[in-house]
Structure 1
């Protein structure tokens, strides 16, 4: 029986390396931490002075809403404030209808939880839907606490005889309304304060965008000028992709009311990302020409470097308006004519990309000069529902979260232990798509919770008895909050631990007004977090488990299907312009699939490896080799010669090339099937079509066309060399031996 290849990230990253990365100093990170810490101390002062409820939650919301730039922080603050308000309002209506009917309240809570998590996965509302649903459900859980308070005794005088139930002072309905209104205040106050601070001193996303663009231009120039270590820098920015650029472009346009520039800016970002990938492929292609004389390579690359420098200066011109921007000059064609091998096709594609960049930059400058980019009223509308939003995996995810949340709530209610209510919160926040992701976030939550609780209990034992004023409390809380914010604004791999350190420390030390000596609350809240983690992990491990390997195989298999479609694009789309458009769409989908697989594969070490897998391995190395295939395949898809000279190639040769493309499409589909199911691994080597050969091409072709033909042949060779690298890293040992060249079918080359 065929077994799919196992997904194995390899050796886990050293904890020491993660800690060093987490604590790595930088001015940008220090600035962002201070922009969170200052409003946090202001919130603490206001809450302690006026004795407002939930100061720990208010400070935690500040860190949760903070982002690297001002626009994201402001929008996140408004989303959180509105979401908490709507969620609290929904909880009021639910409790008003079910306060005296627990049997009705439980199914309503389950329905709200299911609806919330399905909306998060099936719609484009994202964090907004989660905040509304979470606070609606969590607010509903306060009914038991409110009823318990109403039935407890409160004194109206200094004698026991004057004791009265608290329901005599405030009925449960009124207590509920007060609680909901205070929850809104707890969210609104920090949100408005964070909004004000970021409007005054927040980081402009345009500044971050300029830094990202500068990193790419410097890496490209360093490679073209053959500086030491340049290829490593080029690989680093290539792995990052254009996603961060597109996000910052959208944010900077919103900040400066330049929404009319979105299309042209996105075109520049995509073209620049394409240039980076072509330069990475250039390094691989010239390895085949290591012993050959390449007189045209250096002049061509130096001309590309000059173009990139000029583009950077025009995109971010100097402050003096009288300085004319530099001209954008293309590489001279005489240098390009001296290139050989795959460099010919890569150079032609680079020239196309440079032309796209030049035209897009000129259009952008024209829009700016006529002030046509300033259209603040326009917004790019997004569809409400995601494609396949109501698919079975999304429904199963919502049901699993509902099961975990309601299990925690029933355990809390059955034990009559209201102090462990944090288990419900935990079940909401640690639930993610795969078992590995859930366990990874659970580990961060437990680790951060234990660190924060240890610091909090230690402060209660050692420092709180001698603290007499707010200044001492502010120094203590600010020190821990600074470290937590430093971690929370760092790498996404560990940022959640910083959130938990702050929340656990705040919940243990900020229980009332002023210093506290109560350790029971700290114990209960830590127990609740641990219980929520255990319940959620068990549910996601045994109920419709989605493993990291399943997600990686799905995305890697889809990436190979996209490569097959790109190989056949000349047959399916004869029009040149539409071919380029279709190729760009398929390339974006390929990058998205590889990015998703790369995002979840590090969590492989957080889940057990099942025994029912083959010896094949899909790890970080295989994913890196897969990502490299996109460059030769996409260049082949758009490297057709002009129709006016295509007839000079014999029809029989062109038909053989088309047959080769169809064979490669089918072979990529076979690789996708092996990744998903494990079928056909032994035949992947032997069925891989051989690269086309030049021996059957006529000698009468003119030199420009002959050079393009030789360049296409070299691209096929580069593609097959990279495919062999992928197979070597992925196939089982029994199927990893390369076949002899004679075992592959040879087809002639024609640039069709």
Structure 2
């Protein structure tokens, strides 16, 4: 019998195995990042560019999964650096010789950067501009004379632009096309979904759902990269929505499961092969199963899965009539700010919290006269996130990465660097450690930031100057600065207007169920976009729920009325089954009215002040499948009600 400790160990090992699996795509990303860091180390050492550690670390920041995202990030980084340097030169006119003015300018720069990060259409540019602007203003404390200060500021633009140029060039030469990458991932997900339907224990359903949602974002990049692919835009949207629906339905398949699963697997693989042929890809499927003669299932779940798989196969072959998406209402000119920029207090509160954390870190190293821990200010910018749980999660990754990277840098300073004789050997060392850090940073958000922080801490320790470094004091100070910044972010975000990740998770689950209510009330067939939006909200809710485990104190009140994560996903899956049966069997207005009563029950689950409706009997001439689907949904409502 497996003990609880053994089960936990198996879950952890399985999680680590999935996160650190070396796919061909991941190997290529690791190679690009490690080579880019080595090239930047050679450039900064040869031409004596200031801040070599930051230049090498920017390769990690600029590198994205595909060439299109990398070029977009690179262009935004250069624009942000140019804006920040120009504004800094203007600020130096006022505060270079007057330290009393520096503090209010720091307040303004930090608040504006954090506020426009959340509210403007140029969020990443606003973030980088605010960070660089604050960093340049703190340089005036260390360099009191204007001429060297101005030269250092102009060099800072080079420190940003050079690694961005190197990274963009490497991605143009060796990077992944978003078109090829999206098609390869889609073909792979067809096969993995087929294996999951056949054997649900092969991999977690939530992981597949997250990858399908991420595939939708990558597909949009591919459409912008190659305009000719727009002919497949609606078809791709339908395929992703159908794959998400099949994943949700198959998670609750029982009864006549084996035969239904086997035939569904064959159809999914056939759909994958059709997808590959229509896009002229060369992908080898290991299981080219042929379709068996499908016997209609007598269970609502099995029958809805058969219908969904059949539609998937027709859509992949190009034979399904995919409805055109409803065009959004014209909104006039493109808005620079989100509509609630000045109405939602959360935006200003977030900016104030980031500002207070930055000012606390600045005051700490200034009052202690310890300029070596200036990395505390950098930490505040990169750790601050919307919810308390997210910030603590990132703090955990940053602190662990900093300690591991600092330890590796210390060992290299003591035992390796004294043996190096030229820049080439230093570049090999940088490339090796960068490859290890990139192995972690190319994972998903659960662990990726630890790899980036490991690289940053290592670069700060090893790339201190333009020659071999044997001083551990700088490394110690920079690691302490990282911990000080994390301390300020944790204290501020936990005590001032705390936002709970668990609250966000509950809000997202409620939003998903409200969309289900709207789908139950409409008379026409539910759209692919509706299915995708429901699954996206549930995916984000799971992410926030995972971040909530890092909240070491209770933030906000939980009245316990909202359905749990499992209950919400079960209700959503059974609602999709009901909608699939209703659409395929073309039931009339009486069925729509009965489903509207189910929607009222969901409303009552979300709002405890609302009394559950009195349910009328099933409409006349209700099919057996529809009756089963409705009974499953009502049973879910009963479970949630009894669990309160």
The TM-score, its normalising length taken from structure 2, stands at: 0.85
The answer to whether 1:631 aligns with 2:579 is no
Check 1:298–1:507 CA distance in 2 against 1; reply closer, same or farther (3 A cut). Answer: closer
In structure 2, what is the equivalent of residue 32 of structure 1? 29
Q: Which residue of 2 aligns with 1:669?
A: 603
Decide which structure has the larger Cα Rg and report it.
1
1:716 and 2:624 are equivalent in the alignment: no
Aligned-partner Cα distance in 1 for 2:415–2:513: 60
Corresponding residue number in structure 1 for 2:421: 468
Match of 2:233 among 266, 276, 296: 266
1:300/1:557 CA distance change after superposition, 3 Å: same
Contact 1:342 1:718 in 2 (8 A): no
How far 1:556 moved relative to its partner?
1.4
Deviation of 1:79 after TM superposition, in Å, equals 1.9
Report if the CA contact (8 A) 2:235-2:322 is conserved: no
Displacement of 1:388 after TM fit?
Answer: 3.0
Instruction: Quote the Cα distance in structure 2 between the aligned partners of 1:48 and 1:118.
Output: 37
Could you say which residue in structure 1 is the equivalent of 2:338? 386
Q: 2:216 matched to 1:246?
A: yes
- The answer on 1:137 being equivalent to 2:134 is yes
- Confirm or deny: 8 A CA contact 2:563 2:605 kept in the other structure: no
Q: Is the 8 A contact 1:39 1:197 kept in 2?
A: yes
Are 1:197 and 2:170 matched, yes or no?
yes
1:545 corresponds in structure 2 to 498
> Residues 531 and 306 from structure 1, CA distance in 2 versus in 1: closer, same or farther, beyond 3 angstroms?
closer
Unaligned runs of 5+ in 2: 1-6, 284-289, 324-332
2:182 aligned residue (209, 215, 227): 209
Aligned length: 621
CA RMSD of aligned residues (A): 3.7
- Which residue of 1 is the match for residue 328 of structure 2? none
Distance 2:40 2:208 in 1: 42
Alignment deviations for residues 502-522 of structure 1 (CA, whole Å, 9 cap, x no partner): 211211222111111222222
Contact 2:561 2:607 in 1 (8 A): no
How far does residue 638 in structure 1 lie from its aligned partner after superposition? 4.3
In the TM superposition, what are the counterparts of 1:272-291 in structure 2 within 5 Å? 272-280=239-247, 283=250, 287=254
- Find the aligned partners of 2:301 and 2:45 in 1 and give their Cα distance: 69
The one-character-per-residue Cα deviations of 1:582-632 (angstroms, maximum 9, x if unpaired) are x44543432332122122211122112539656779665345435524523
Question: Deviation digits for residues 244-281 of structure 1, max 9, x if unmatched?
Answer: 222222333344xx32533x433223322333244346
1:654-688 Cα distance to aligned partner (Å, 9 max, x none): 55x454333222221121225xxxx68xx8xxx47
Distance change (3 Å), C-alpha of 1:211 and 1:472: same
In structure 2, the partner of 1:562 is 515
Tell me if structure 2 keeps the 8 A contact 1:436–1:603.
Answer: yes
How has the CA–CA distance of structure 1 residues 384 and 231 changed in structure 2, closer, same or farther, with 3 Å as cutoff? farther
- Secondary structure of 2:411's partner? helix
Q: Please list, as runs of the form range in 1=range in 2, the aligned pairs for 1:147-158 lying within 5 A after superposition.
A: 147=144
Distance in 2, matches of 1:547 and 1:34, equals: 38
Secondary structure of 1:512's partner? coil
Match of 2:406 in 1: 453
Is there any run of 5+ residues in structure 1 with no aligned partner, and where?
A: 1-9, 148-171, 321-328, 365-380, 571-575, 647-653, 698-705, 738-752
Q: Deviations over 1:439-466 (max 9, x none)?
A: 1111111111112222222332333444
1:481 corresponds, among 423, 428, 434, to: 434
Q: Which moved more, 1:244-253 or 1:137-146?
A: 244-253
Tell me the equivalent position of 1:736.
Answer: 643
**C-alpha distance in structure 1 between counterparts of 2:282 and 2:13, whole Å:** 44
Cα distance in 1, alignment partners of residues 232 and 202 from structure 2: 27
**Structure 1 233/689 Cα, relative in aligned 2: closer, same or farther at 3 Å?**
farther
Secondary structure at 1:661 match in 2: helix
Q: 2:539 pairs with 595, 609, 622, which one?
A: 595
Q: Secondary structure at the match of 1:128?
A: helix
What is the aligned partner in structure 1 of residue 123 from structure 2? Answer: 126
Alignment of 1:296-445 (within 5 A): 301=264, 304-305=267-268, 308-309=271-272, 311-317=274-280, 341=300, 343=302, 347=306, 357-359=316-318, 383-390=335-342, 391-445=344-398
Please say if residues 118 and 394 of structure 1, whose CA atoms lie closer than 8 Å, have aligned partners that are also in contact: yes
1:610 to 554, 566, 574: 554
User: Deviations along 1:403-444, whole A, 9 cap, x unmatched?
Assistant: 111121122222222211111111111001111110111111
Relative distance call for 1:672 and 1:42 in structure 2 (3 A) is same
For the Cα contact (< 8 Å) 2:30–2:439, is it kept in 1?
Answer: yes
Asked whether 1:64 is paired with 2:26, we answer no
SS of the residue corresponding to residue 606 of structure 1 reads coil
Contact 1:587 1:634 in 2 (8 A): no
Distance (Å, rounded) in 2 between the aligned partners of 1:337 and 1:464 = 70
Question: Contact conserved, 2:276 with 2:282, CA < 8 A, in 1?
Answer: no
Aligned residues of 1:69 and 1:202 also touching (Cα < 8 A): yes
Cα gap change, 1:688/1:220 in structure 2, threshold over 3 Å: closer, same or farther?
Answer: farther
The 1:504–1:14 alpha-carbon spacing in structure 2 relative to 1, beyond 3 Å, is farther
Q: Equivalents in 1 of 2:568, 2:438: separation in Å?
A: 33
- The equivalent of 1:162 in structure 2 is none
Alignment match, 2:455: 502
| Cα drift, residue 491 of structure 1 | 2.7
Secondary structure of the structure 2 residue equivalent to 1:25: coil
Report the CA distance between 1:185 and its aligned residue: 0.8
Which moved further from structure 2: 272-281 or 606-615?
606-615
User: Contact 1:116–1:130 (CA<8 Å) still a contact in 2?
Assistant: yes
- SS of corresponding position for 2:41: helix
Q: Quickly say closer, same or farther: Cα 1:626–1:529, change in 2 above 3 A.
A: farther
Q: Could you tell me whether the CA contact under 8 Å between 2:442 and 2:448 is conserved in 1? A: yes
1:716/1:556 CA distance change after superposition, 3 Å:
same
Query: Are 1:100 and 2:89 matched, yes or no?
Result: no
